[in-house]
Chains A and B, each alone.
Chain A
């Protein structure tokens, strides 16, 4: 499991995360939800050692983040950022191939090639394998990045808004694949999602963040309630049920035309410089 103790983070003078204590269970699909600026990406990036830890402790399956060599961590978790821009001119298959880097450090073996093929296959990238990344659509590029993360073959997958740019069918396919990884191969997934119904349908555990704090966590039934969600997003939200799961309705508020933007979160309010 991932254990987070007393994690706080500042950017300049602005506090972004406030003393976060959180345990993410192994073998579960965990969804991280919350409004823009809540600190979801920051939390994920800290766990993924993409930002230096300022205060607090993070442990991944017993590996202390601060003291474990980064090469070792790359065998334990794979990360996909919210906005990944690749400057070099690569083909889809080459990008996916880099997912195996932590295993071979530049000398791919047959097992690595096989993992790459599987990942390409899993994301329907076969026909696109020789295309350059700057010559495919946004959703196709997103799938290529996801395939790279999958190819890494780690116990933990940390994904920041993996549904960005994906159409309905691919979104659903991705969530199904994540669930399959979790239930079939015992892997653990932590993913940020904005479309809460995907969390409702697929997640085993939901963590809700706001203003740099965890405000609710638990199974879908306890977190995805009208009360919690309306407070979380500062906007009226209706929750119904479908297939014995919560179904969140937020597109039907015609009387809200011209409604003000949700009020600023704590984090938004701090002056930065």
Chain B
């Protein structure tokens, strides 16, 4: 790794650390210090996990899709997760759903999600389907399909079930599901380790099917594995805060723009750090300094959406 890359990563780490410190200690005092710190630490961990997961998932996905305007959520990954969740509630009933041990349930969902993501999107992105408009369209349609299936399932369920489903259907960085956090953090760490291990191979994958194959890379297998990782990372972030559509696009765009090298060993940590730093700094700004708990998701989604439009209008789809 060259010096500019190392400097960039160090600077991003410093930024994240500074934002985290402000988040943890701003306006603290009085009696229940320990309690507040614990609360804040939990939330901080959640924001970091989600930001990193979204950033890294998006970079991985864009490499596999060979295109810079797609994100897992534009392609319906998180809608698939919500559908999976709804299906589970519908099949088990609210009581049954609630009775399942949280960690086991989550693990099963993540496993199912990575399998489905690999199969479904692997087929979609497979041979010859690299025609961008068609891929976007298919993804959008799949997303709508998954969402309406979820809504349909929710409609025929009782109101309680509907409420359970609603809670996972919208993004909210203010209320992170703390029960899932340890497991989510573990899965995220595993995925990041896996992605970093694959980084040199991902560089070859990014050269395209032809060149990668002639260099002896097992292209299709790596695409499947990578999509599996993306599926897990999206499950993690969706389970913790709900679906985020355009945030990943913003993060991946910044990562590609800032990173001095197209190497994944640099891109992936940069994307993870940018994602985490934006969420922590943003939540500190909105929740602490402006007293607006729910605003961050709207703002990052809006910024990401604008960025998406910008990319489309500039024709920078690669």
Identify the A interface with B (CB < 8 A). 48-50, 70-75, 78-79, 81, 84-90, 94, 98-99, 101-102, 105-107, 152
Contact = CB atoms under 8 A, between A and B. Distances in A.
Contacts of A79: 214
Interface of B: 66-67, 199-201, 203-204, 206-208, 210-211, 213-218, 256, 262, 318
A165 B206 CA distance: 24
Contacts of A90: 262
Contact of A98 (B199, B210, B213, B215): B215
A70 B213 contact: yes
Contact of A70 (B208, B210, B216): B216
A106 B204 CA distance: 9
A248 B239 CA distance: 70
B214 A71 contact: no
Given A86-B207, A101-B216, A106 B200 contact: yes
Given A87-B208, A87-B318, A73 B216 contact: yes
Query: In terms of DSSP, what is the predominant structure of the interface of chain A?
Result: loop
With a 10 A CB-CB cut-off, give which of B203, B214, B218, B256 has the most chain A CB atoms: B214
A71 B216 contact: yes
Given A88-B207, A99-B215, A101-B216, 18 more contacts: A49-B213, A50-B210, A72-B216, A79-B214, A81-B210, A86-B207, A86-B211, A87-B207, A88-B262, A90-B262, A98-B215, A101-B215, A102-B216, A105-B200, A105-B201, A106-B201, A106-B203, A152-B215
Nearest to A149: B214
Contact of A101 (B204, B206, B210): B204
A84 B210 contact: yes
Nearest to A52: B127
5 contacts: A71-B216, A86-B208, A90-B262, A106-B199, A107-B200
With a 10 A CB-CB cut-off, give which of B199, B200, B203, B207 has the most chain A CB atoms: B207
Nearest to A83: B210
B96 to A, nearest CB: 46
A74 B216 contact: yes
Contacts of A71: 216
A88 B210 contact: no
Contacts of A74: 214-216
Nearest to B198: A106
B257 to A, nearest CB: 11
A120 B177 CA distance: 54
Contacts of A72: 216
A90 B207 CA distance: 9
Contacts of B216: 70-75, 101-102
Nearest to A152: B215
Contacts of B66: 87
B211 A88 contact: no
B200 A98 contact: no
Nearest to B215: A101
Contacts of B211: 81, 84, 86, 98
A87 B213 contact: no
